[in-house]
Amino acid sequence: MKLSYLFRRLVFLVIVIWTAATLLFFIPRLSPVNPIRERFLAIARSTGYLPTDLNTIIASFETKFGLDKPLPQQYVDYMRSVLRGDLGVSLMSYPKTVNQLIGEALPWTLGLLTVTTIITFLVGTAIGALASWPKSPQWVKGMVTPLIVLAAIPPQVLGLLLIYFVAFKLNILPMTGAFDPGDLPNLSITFILDVARHAILPSLTLVLAYIGFWALGMRGMGVTVQGEDYVLFAEHKGLPQNRVFYAYYVRNAILPQVTSLALAFGGIISAGVLVESVFGFPGIGSTLTAAIAANDYFVIYGIGFITILAVGVSMLVVDLIYPLLDPRIRYDRK
């Protein structure tokens, strides 16, 4: 691989992240709602007390957070802070910083969605590959249809159905939350098992919702590979069917799946927004939902920036490992 190609990809990554971060900065500002005023009004509604000098208090907080500056100056300050790794202070959870909120929520999201994404990718891709292989049993080919039906149902609806039938009717698993109320997070075996028990329904929801996507995608790519010359040549050479299937069939059909996997890992935060909200899971998705409801600029910026960075880095990594998956791809050619 030429260093010039790697340099171009890195420059492209920086441009993509900068462009997306710029859009993230300006889009929330299109709303006429003042987030600080809304926060104080929400406190007033819950406590029944509204300060007489509310405008003065709001003005002082706008000065503290830099919201009284001209928009171009706010943008410059925002980009400088991002370069330093400082994502600002949360308006809805002051004095907590955005870094602290993300640090508290990210492990829950990664623990839930990373595992389910890997499971759905491996199982769905395997089912799709077997379903498109002409020599597979008929019952394997028939597995794709119910999975596609499940994929057509919104994840939040699947989650509500599982909550009703499994948690409410059968009372087998807890309805919401990541652990029992009153418990403090720790590394004990009891707490870990409790977290795993609470994560079963959200994980099952994500697996059922997305496994059909992977199966259908791999099945479609497998069908296109069936008539390729290298597959027919391998079969006519008398190679074992297992080798033809894995080395010639799956290896060439799986490339678009790997790209989709990179996007799935990059968009892992957005994928869990609805499911985490339904199950009350304390992850990034729930934090983002609360930030949008409170119009908390800085939390929206921070989570959005982390998502953009994850997508960009994932695509760069996949682009660099493609030659390992397919020797026909070379980046050192002119």
Half-sphere exposure of 97 (CA within 13 A, CB side): 8
**What percent of the chain stands above pLDDT 90?**
0
Cα–Cα distance for residue pair 297/92, rounded to 1 Å: 10
Write down the pLDDT at residue 87. Answer: 81
332 pLDDT band (50/70/90 cuts)?
low
Longest alpha-carbon distance in the chain: 87
Q: Decide if 181 contacts 175 (C-beta within 8 A).
A: no
268 pLDDT band (50/70/90 cuts)?
low
Four-way CATH pick for 105-282: 1.10.1740.10, 3.40.50.300, 1.10.3720.10, 3.40.50.2020 = 1.10.3720.10
| Lookup: tokens for 125 | 């891709």
- 261 by Cβ neighbours in 10 Å (0-12 / 13-18 / 19+) ranks as buried
Name residue 97's beta-bridge partners: 89
Write down the pLDDT at residue 257. Answer: 82
Residue found under tokens 């994932």: 314
Write down the pLDDT at residue 329. Answer: 64
Q: Decide if 201 contacts 280 (C-beta within 8 A).
A: no
Evaluate if residue 333 carries a pLDDT over 70: no
Cα–Cα distance for residue pair 36/26, rounded to 1 Å: 17
pLDDT digits (tens, 9 = 90+) for 220-235: 888 777 777 777 777 7
Evaluate if residue 249 carries a pLDDT over 70: yes
